């Protein structure tokens, strides 16, 4: 009996230590997320699994599991760069995880005019690219206009489904200190800072920066259907840096 008891205690300690290390990594180093919607197409697809760096913008209670209120304020806080793809808790409920791109920094003035971004009085340049073919499992095959937008020293692709969409013309937004203006790359299919449901994102709600895709599948097969994996896994996306 003594041997069994010692074995049980040893296993319990090992498992507890492993869980503790996993929580430390998840809270302060990196956390995995999956992409459930198409708001960041064409750069992130439904079925992408990504790593998010937790150190990029500092730590708050939202860095911890279940947003445990152990950190009263943001510590080691850093400002995102314009164009960063960030994961955050929505200000609406402080529970739901969203992923969007930072477009406006504190002090910026932003207005969307006919689908184009006007930032601090200057129109953001964009260039027409080859169309994006959307073959998401939940939609029929669509051909969508794709553009490359140029922000400061970076550029990234966006898609524009329609003219005169609901958020293609907006009021003038002035980003308050300590807040950020975010948008989805799928401009006509994204709940973001253009809507009252999301609005400006406070720095305390930033969880981290989306860094890399570590797995991706198109959803056409279940986990147990291993004979279909070769058609479902998007091998070309695995390891891809998020830009």
Q: What DSSP element (H or E) covers 103?
A: strand 97-104
For residue 100, indicate whether it is catalytic: yes
φ/ψ (deg, to 5) at 126: -145, 155
d(CA 34, CA 140): 22
The residue from 39, 56, 190, 193 that is catalytic is: 39
C-alpha radius of gyration, the chain, whole number: 21
Q: What DSSP element (H or E) covers 52?
A: strand 48-53
| Helix boundaries (H) for 29-161 | none
The residue from 61, 100, 146, 203 that is catalytic is: 100
Provide CB contacts within 8 A for 10, sequence distance 6+: none
- 3-state DSSP call for residue 78? coil
d(CA 61, CA 203): 12
Q: In terms of DSSP bridges, do strands 173-174 and 109-113 run parallel, antiparallel, or are they unpaired? A: antiparallel
For residue 14, indicate whether it is catalytic: no
**Sheet arrangement for strand 122-123:** 122-123, 116-119, 109-113, 173-174
Contact at 8 Å (CB) between 30 and 52? Answer: yes
Which residues does the annotation mark as catalytic?
39, 100
């Amino acid at each position: 009996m003594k041997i069994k008891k010692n074995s049980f205690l040893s296993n319990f300690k090992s498992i507890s230590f492993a869980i503790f290390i996993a929580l430390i990594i998840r809270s302060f180093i990196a956390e995995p997320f999956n992409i459930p919607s198409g708001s960041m197409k064409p750069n992130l697809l439904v079925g992408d699994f990504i790593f998010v760096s937790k150190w990029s913008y500092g730590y708050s209670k939202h860095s911890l599991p279940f947003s445990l209120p152990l950190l009263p304020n943001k510590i080691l806080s850093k400002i995102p760069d314009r164009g960063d793809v960030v994961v955050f808790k929505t200000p609406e409920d402080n529970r739901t995880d969203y992923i969007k791109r930072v477009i406006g920094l504190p002090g910026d003035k932003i207005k969307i005019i006919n689908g184009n971004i006007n930032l601090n009085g200057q129109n953001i340049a964009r260039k027409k690219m080859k169309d994006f073919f959307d073959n998401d499992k939940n939609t029929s095959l669509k051909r969508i206009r794709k553009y490359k937008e140029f922000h400061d020293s970076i550029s990234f692709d966006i898609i524009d489904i329609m003219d005169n969409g609901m958020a293609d013309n907006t009021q003038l937004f002035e980003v308050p200190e300590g807040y950020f203006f975010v948008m989805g790359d799928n401009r006509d299919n994204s709940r973001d800072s253009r809507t009252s449901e999301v609005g400006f994102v406070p720095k305390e709600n930033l969880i981290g920066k989306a860094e890399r895709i570590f797995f991706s599948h198109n959803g056409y097969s279940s986990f147990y259907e291993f004979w279909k994996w070769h058609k479902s896994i998007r091998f070309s996306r695995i390891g891809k840096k998020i830009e």
